[in-house]
Structure 1
Amino acid sequence: FLTFFCLLFSFFVYFCAGAEHESVLCCSEENLRIIVPLEDIDTQEKSTVSFSCKVNRLNATLKWLKAGEEVSFSKFVVYRVDKHKHTLTVKDCTLADEGEYTAVAGDSKSTAELVISEAPTDFSVHLKDQTITEFEDAEFTCKLTKEKANVKWYRNGREIREGPRYSIICTLRIKECRPDDECEYACGVDEKRSRARLFVEGELLQVLLYDIEEPKLDVDSSYSNNVVVMAGEVFKLEANVTGRPIPSLVWTKEEKELEDTAKIEIKSSDFHTTLINKDSLRRDGGAFTLTASNPGGFAKFTFNVKVLDRPGPPDSLTVTDVTAEKCVLNWLHPTHDGGAKIEYFIIQRRETSRLTRFK
């Protein structure tokens, strides 16, 4: 007798002839097919991703499609084969690479989706301090990771509007600088900031150095006490400021600088500043410090804010010594007192047969 093994389903014909018998063995090749499919991928711009699948033959060649069209390979789109595994790699992804990718192996196909989210804009080159001579033009320049971005510029925390003296793109140009232009400038995109200072030198500046006035804060006397508000309310902190040159104004809480956001609105002009906190929560309370500074020195004032809320329920309520005439109630103070000392408790009683309560 003869024994035959057909490996990899290759097509062969074997003949066996003997004195009394003759046999023919035929082996046909299995169709190329995908045995491990592609998987969907979610990623961000600038990242590198790889689609992988496996087929039932060694070192076969697959066709790759994107949105029904054959993929062109390059240094950014690379196809690799490792035995049964086939991989398509897309490097440095852009939004144009998003779409449906298909691996084709004979009559077998596998499709997966590439979803690319937009990466946040950031600064690739930050602002730098500038020192210029009076009446010259000053220029602050930064670079962003994206060509098109909504850029805002700030002078001492106050947004700058484009006008005859300010020309804005990703470069802020200040024409014919004067001594009172000396302060901090910032460029903002989304929630990110890049800051730098402008220093103005010249004969006029040297004369003004003899007329420096240290900052002073003028705060309403009502702010000497705690500012108390209820949860959900709005509280406003404000102050007037004097000084020469015009002081820089900075709001901080727990030594962290505060910025203008949807919840906290900061409005500052040369001699006045206001902080408004919306939809107050208990955690919004605390010490808010306003600092005004210039070459003559600095001034500070701390506003103490307390946000009150309803206290929580009493803890560990127990009923003991129950008789027809009396019972004993015991409980602990609530975990949260709502921000104020609990002065008393109210106990209410009702008959089990009635819905109304009475003291």
Structure 2
Amino acid sequence: MTSKCEACSFNATKLIKGNEYQFPVDRLTSPEITLDADFKQTHVVKNGATVTLHIAFCGKPAPLATWTKAGGELGVMADVNTTDTYSTLTIESCTRYDSGKYTLLLENNGGRKSITLTVKVLDTPGPPGAISFKDNTKFTLNVQAKPVAEIQWFHNGQLIQESEKLRFTNMSGVLSIQIRDCQAEDSGTYRAVCSNSKGEASDYGILDVSGGEFSTYTSRRINESK
């Protein structure tokens, strides 16, 4: 704490010669900030919530209190309430634009003091991204062809090749496609096209991945449900 004395003068009237007089003089004290045990330097709030920054202080004369925000102005939802012993900054309906550092500056004739607090507003969650369900599914169909048929697999009309994600098998005319780690983008129609010199035939199944689950439908099940 520091004290500052300034030269001053005043006129006293109606004094009696020979008498002693005492004139009290208030001592200047620079602003001091009082922090309690529950003080938090960083305040984390959810989007739409209210945050209150409360700082208690002392000083003679009562300090002038000024709130500022780093890199910008206080938002329209900010409200400041200041007395001789504390200042409160309240921000209602917080948005991510209210995140930042807020500084309280205290000033009087004895000096100045400041403190900076941080506000973090958790933004409203956006739509979820790709969901990995870590499950596998398989479509199987029987093929009888002579001469032996050439097999091609299509996903939503696009030719697909075997990979770590897609496994093709052909066990004596029993065809299957296995889709590993099903995700939303794997949804759609999977069609097997079988062709030889005598002609062409195809069959398909539908994979629906949504809402954290997946369902499969074969062409036979679809036809039977009509």
When normalised by structure 2's length, the TM-score is 0.49
Structure with the greater relative contact order (CA < 8 A, sep ≥ 6): 1 or 2? 2
